[in-house]
Amino acid sequence: MSFSLDVKDELLKSHPAEEHCRLAELSALVRFMAGRGNVSEDEIVISSDNKSALRKCFTMLGKTFNIETDVFEDESHNLRTQVSLNAANCDIKNVYKRLRIGNPMDLLKRDCCKRSYLRGAFLATGYIEDPRKSYHFEILTDEEEYAKLLTYLLSQFNIIAKRSLRKKYFVIYIKESEAVSDVLSVMGAHKSMMGLANTRIEKNVRNNTNRRLNCDMANVGRSVSAAAKQIEDILYIRDKVGLDALPESLKEMALVRVEYPEESFADLGSRLNPSVGKSGVNHRLRKISEFADDLRGEKEKK
Ligand SMILES: [Zn+2]
């Protein structure tokens, strides 16, 4: 499976617990899958080549609006599956109104809902390139207002997206590795974010190794190999018991360390919430290493 489908697969499995988030995600799913010409107060025609995403959309519609699930029974083998919502199968006016199809801003006051909306839009028309090839994240829309909306929502999480035109579509895209990682985190694709972090580490380690061959920088070498050891410990914990086994503060530390393999303790500390000083970072990383050593010890005993 492609990296893009892996990310979508991960996001399809997360179902927002709160109704406000559910409405926000659903609003994006419906609007971005339907497209401008297919939404009115009388009928919304949703189509997608991703049946799983379409199914999630209809499961959520079913839960929120009590729509009969047999609306989604198209088993045709076309690449695109198309489903119509209209007065025959639902209270279409209510769906249109509650999902704020024309103007979703009212649904997007909370941060959790902004995240949910971005997740829905990405599931509907998004794409992310395999990070081993290049860093590229995008969402397509056929209406400029929605391109502006997505740019605005991303900016609320300090992510700067660029915009371009592709045929009749507006493309919102990100090409910077850190921002691509941030957007995965914002949408709740934490596993994929870790995958991306691993790729970034591999690339960095390779670059650092080359750099070290070229010039003798003893200090850089030392901090790089210390970081490599810390990351090795973190990945070991992740593979053995999962990072959730760590106390919350250590888990946050681990994610930041893996995400920024090249940064100093002071910089890493400032990325934590709340931020901590150099010695705090040192202390936490040592705890993580001890945790990994304990795990290794347990393994040896067996
Ligand atoms: Zn919410």
CA 233 to chain centre: 25
SS3 call for 70 = helix
Distance from the CA of 21 to the center of ligand 1, in angstroms?
A: 3
Q: What distance in Å separates the CA atoms of residue 164 and residue 259, rounded to the nearest whole number?
A: 28
Total Cβ atoms within 10 A of residue 48: 22
Distance from the CA of 253 to the center of ligand 1, in angstroms?
A: 26
User: Thinking of the domain 3-182, which architecture would CATH place it in?
Assistant: Roll (3.10)
The reported pLDDT for the residue numbered 210 is 63
Nearest to 31 by CA among 115, 136, 140: 140
Distance from the CA of 26 to the center of ligand 1, in angstroms?
A: 12
The ranges of the chain annotated as CATH 3.10.28.10 are: 3-182
**Residues 288 and 254: beta-carbon distance below 8 Å:** yes
Q: What distance in Å separates the CA atoms of residue 201 and residue 204, rounded to the nearest whole number?
A: 5
The reported pLDDT for the residue numbered 158 is 92
SS3 call for 85 = strand
**Residues 122 and 48: beta-carbon distance below 8 Å:** no
Distance from the CA of 178 to the center of ligand 1, in angstroms?
A: 25
User: Kind and range of the H or E element at 86?
Assistant: strand 81-86
Q: What distance in Å separates the CA atoms of residue 15 and residue 61, rounded to the nearest whole number?
A: 12
Distance from the CA of 110 to the center of ligand 1, in angstroms?
A: 6
Find the DSSP H helices in the chain.
3-13, 19-34, 51-65, 92-98, 111-125, 144-155, 177-187, 190-214, 218-240, 248-259, 265-271, 278-301
Distance from the CA of 292 to the center of ligand 1, in angstroms?
A: 36
Tell me the two tokens of residue 240: 């053995």
Q: What distance in Å separates the CA atoms of residue 121 and residue 107, rounded to the nearest whole number?
A: 14
**Residues 94 and 65: beta-carbon distance below 8 Å:** yes
Distance from the CA of 227 to the center of ligand 1, in angstroms?
A: 37
Q: What distance in Å separates the CA atoms of residue 39 and residue 57, rounded to the nearest whole number?
A: 15
The reported pLDDT for the residue numbered 75 is 57
Measure the CA angle with vertex 125, ends 93 and 78; round to 5°: 85
Query: How crowded is the C-beta side of 257, counted as CA atoms within 13 Å?
Result: 27
Distance from the CA of 78 to the center of ligand 1, in angstroms?
A: 35
**Residues 100 and 27: beta-carbon distance below 8 Å:** yes
Distance from the CA of 23 to the center of ligand 1, in angstroms?
A: 8
Distance from the CA of 139 to the center of ligand 1, in angstroms?
A: 21
Give pLDDT tens digits along the chain (302 positions).
799 999 999 999 988 889 999 999 999 999 999 988 899 999 999 888 888 898 889 889 988 888 876 655 555 556 677 888 888 888 999 999 999 998 999 999 999 999 999 999 999 999 999 998 999 999 999 999 999 999 999 999 999 999 999 989 999 999 998 899 999 999 999 999 988 888 887 777 777 666 555 544 455 555 667 777 888 888 888 888 888 899 989 988 998 888 787 788 999 999 998 899 999 999 999 999 999 999 998 765 54
The reported pLDDT for the residue numbered 204 is 73
Distance from the CA of 270 to the center of ligand 1, in angstroms?
A: 27
Q: What distance in Å separates the CA atoms of residue 64 and residue 51, rounded to the nearest whole number?
A: 20
Tell me the two tokens of residue 40: 């009115």
SS3 call for 217 = coil
The reported pLDDT for the residue numbered 236 is 86
